[in-house]
A and B are shown apart, each in its own frame.
Chain A
Amino acid sequence: MRKPRGDVFTALNFLVMGVGCAARGQVAKGLLLLAGQASYIFFLLSFGLRYLSEFLTLGNNEQYTVWNEELQINQVITGDNSMLILLFGILTVAVTILFVYVYIINIRFGFKALQMKNEGQPLPTFREDLKTLWNDKYHLVLLTLPTLGLLILTVLPLIFMISMAFTNFDRDHQPPGKLFTWVGFENFKEILWSNPRKSQTFLSVLGWTLIWAVSATTTCYFGGMALALLINRKGVRFKKMWRAFFAITIAVPQFVSLLLMRQFLNDNGTLNNMLLNLELIEAPIRFLTSDLARVTVIVVNLWVGVPYTLLITTGILMNIPADLYESARIDGASPFVMFRKITLPYMLFVTAPYLITQFAGNINAFNVIFLLTNGNPRSIEYYQAGKTDLLITWLYRQTVDEQDFKLASTIGIIIFFIIGTLSLISFNLFASKKREDEFS
């Protein structure tokens, strides 16, 4: 189709948004677009430009103290706040990108309206436009709020944190007292090779994180599914009761049960005291403070995770069409063959995304480690880390205890790269891409 020749309104539409639409009779649409442009300009002038101009240096004026002769006190002269400059700078860039997107839409709307008018078609009224939202463009209605929430409270903060990995923001460079600035890839170099202590710690912690994630995910998944199948067995009575027993453990908040477990398994905790009293052991078993801790956390995690898998798989197991089993039985398939050929493929198909989430969740299994061992036993070879520390708890310690934000964000980005690629590959490989329409 040939692009229609524009008139003066088309040209004006590049300058003043909404003119293109309004000139062809779509007044309400035009006014909305114009309002968008006006609010963007207002935002830029009143807020955005100030931060954008200092974005490259993250501020030049450091806070300092000066003796005030009149009042006879030391007076603090506030300088630039690097953190706010960074955060609001990113916000301004984000809003600008959004604006550019709306601007492009505006141009497209303008051309479309002109084209339809030239061809003598009736332009959709504002009401008709709104109506398509309930049908063909229904995704816009449903996705707007969730996406907005994501953008403001997940994406924006995330970009902020990512940028921190490229600055020297740590305990010695803390706003508002001090400035921090861009340092490029310095932090990544340090953690990967140039600082031996940090890079060695990183490799060890990474190794343990992967071992932990694989064992935690598989034990919980297959344990939970086995339990679900066991309860679903035809001959088993009181199915509801068994499920309720396990469900109750979910209802107990995780931090409560984990803190209890810690008290119970402690070096001088109840279990050790009891075993000592019974003279079964001579010295307390150091469940949480020796190398044994790595086994302990996996076992305790099994206790935490199995009921969840049970809960999720039970419903899905019952959604497997019964006729599949019936025809298999008629063909003389054994229960094991039925499990391998029907149950497992179906389960993997439906729960693949869940499994991947679980795996990613386990890499970031903060609660279990933090509450149970807090990363201990500490190791002197490690840089501020312990034997059961996952990357995520190491990151947490850098943020909260050491206030080494640059290291924390660097770790965070590396975590992200590892699981991001891993999950994307597996998600696109064995989950929904080609087959998502198949099973229905």
Chain B
Amino acid sequence: MKKQNIGTPAYHLTFRTRAFNFISHVALTVLSVIWLFPVFWLLLNSFREESGAYTSYFLPKGLTFQNYINLFTNTGLYDFPLWFMNTLIVAIFSCLITTMFVLMTSYVFSRLRFPARRPMMNIMLVLGMFPGFMSMVAVYHVLKLMNLTQTLTGLVIVYSAGAALSYYIAKGFFDTIPRALDEAATIDGASKNTVFWRITLPMSRPIITFTLLSSFIAPWVDFIFVSVLMKGKADKFTVALGLRQMIERETVSAYFTQFCAGAVVVSIPLVILFLMTQKHYVGGITGGATKG
């Protein structure tokens, strides 16, 4: 008799769980539609046959590939392929430097102890709160002093020099890696240098991916710094600045669909990168590391 009584709530619970699961899936579907909607609209516009910026309908009247072809062949007024290469070069270099700087700084603040540590952390925290482009005029003059304005090198420097300021996220991550691992290695005779390269970094894939990714994106989306630095030098533009120029008021109706095509092309490397690195975000890495 008693056994049945135990069985009933268990059955009840699975029903509830199933209902929750169903609701979860519905909610996720609705949310995904909302979030993907602008992306979908961007794609549609990039294939739209008729030009014009403001349409009164959602689905295009005709589809064509011409916008993409124009983007790469019609380089007279807007040289998109060149901008794309510029951005790629700047993004690769600045994301490598930025990631190194961020990892180095956050490892130091997470694991090493020295007198200047806390003051430095506080100062950096405060520095990071100043709006970056507030000092753009000064940065411009500093770079001019080094003869680096209107060059891609200058742009890489601008994007990566302040990297140390964004140490907190990686430091928060390093703090969750068990310290026992470091201590074990130190007992085995490893120097701090070895611990950093051989133990901490290999365990930090998620945060490395995150840092690489976010710093790789920066040059693609920024246009304030690049507009100050490359003023009037169209062959050193990055895609953000170039594309934004396409939809200035005078050219928006003629170039809007081409702008969308350009935006899609810019997004493609970023999307691929994302799908490749997605798995690093998933799956805990420190679970059980000390036990083994």
- Interface residues of A, Cβ cutoff 8 Å to B: 83-84, 87, 134-136, 138-139, 141-143, 145-147, 149-150, 152-158, 160-161, 227, 230-231, 233, 235-237, 239-240, 242-257, 259-261, 263-264, 266, 268-270, 273-274, 276-277, 303, 306-307, 311-312, 314-316, 318-322, 350-354, 356-357, 360, 364, 366-367, 392, 395-396, 399, 405, 408-409, 412, 415-416, 419-420, 423-424, 427-428, 432, 436-437, 439-440
Contact = CB atoms under 8 A, between A and B. Distances in A.
30 contacts: A146-B104, A147-B164, A149-B163, A150-B165, A153-B158, A154-B127, A158-B135, A160-B135, A236-B28, A247-B278, A248-B274, A249-B38, A250-B270, A251-B270, A252-B263, A253-B263, A256-B42, A263-B53, A263-B256, A270-B55, A303-B35, A306-B35, A316-B176, A318-B282, A320-B284, A321-B287, A415-B130, A439-B176, A440-B179, A440-B180
Interface in B161-192: 161-166, 168-169, 171-173, 175-180, 191-192
Given A139-B117, A142-B104, A315-B206, 11 more contacts: A154-B165, A155-B127, A245-B36, A303-B34, A311-B281, A319-B287, A354-B169, A364-B129, A399-B133, A412-B134, A428-B122
Interface stretch (B4-12, B18-26, B61-69): B18-26
B244 interface: yes
A51 to B, nearest CB: 12
A230 B24 CA distance: 7
B112 A138 contact: yes
A142 B158 CA distance: 20
Contact of A319 (B17, B31, B176, B273): B176
B210 interface: yes
Given A248-B271, A412-B134, A149 B105 contact: no
Given A350-B176, A357-B166, A416 B24 contact: no
B224 A366 contact: yes
A420 B126 CA distance: 6
Contacts of A440: 175-180
Nearest to A267: B54
Contacts of B24: 230, 233, 235-236
Given A270-B54, A353-B172, A134 B38 contact: no
Contacts of B125: 356, 423-424, 427
A274 B58 contact: yes
B82 interface: no
A358 B38 CA distance: 24
A268 B56 CA distance: 9
A263 B54 CA distance: 7
Pick from B108, B135, B176, B210 the residue with the most CB of A within 10 Å: B135
Contact of B138 (A136, A161, A254): A161
Contacts of A303: 34-35, 38
B283 A157 contact: no
Given A149-B161, A249-B36, A263-B53, A318 B284 contact: yes
B147 interface: no
A412 B127 CA distance: 12
Given A139-B108, A353-B168, A227 B221 contact: no
A311 B210 contact: yes
B32 A364 contact: no
A94 to B, nearest CB: 11
A315 B157 CA distance: 30
Interface string B201-224: 000001000100000010011011
B129 A419 contact: yes
A156 B163 contact: no
A235 B17 contact: yes
B35 A149 contact: no
A423 B244 contact: no
B77 interface: no
B221 A231 contact: no
Nearest to A144: B104
A385 B55 CA distance: 31
A273 B42 contact: no
A236 B56 contact: no
B108 A143 contact: yes
A270 B138 contact: no
A416 B128 CA distance: 10
Given A143-B104, A246-B32, A415-B131, A153 B137 contact: no
Given A307-B35, A315-B206, A357-B128, A239 B282 contact: yes
B131 A150 contact: no
A254 B160 CA distance: 19
B176 A322 contact: no
A255 to B, nearest CB: 6
Contacts of B18: 235
Pick from B125, B173, B243 the residue with the most CB of A within 10 Å: B125
B15 interface: no
7 tightest Cβ-Cβ pairs between the two chains A and B = A157-B138, A353-B168, A273-B56, A157-B135, A149-B161, A235-B21, A146-B164
B240 interface: yes
A145 B101 contact: yes
Contacts of A158: 127, 130, 134-135, 138
A227 B286 CA distance: 23
B172 A351 contact: yes
Contact of B240 (A246, A253, A274, A321): A253
B41 interface: yes
Contacts of B169: 312, 353-354, 357
Given A255-B221, A270-B55, A154 B141 contact: no
Given A161-B134, A236-B28, A268-B54, A423 B141 contact: no
A304 B148 CA distance: 34
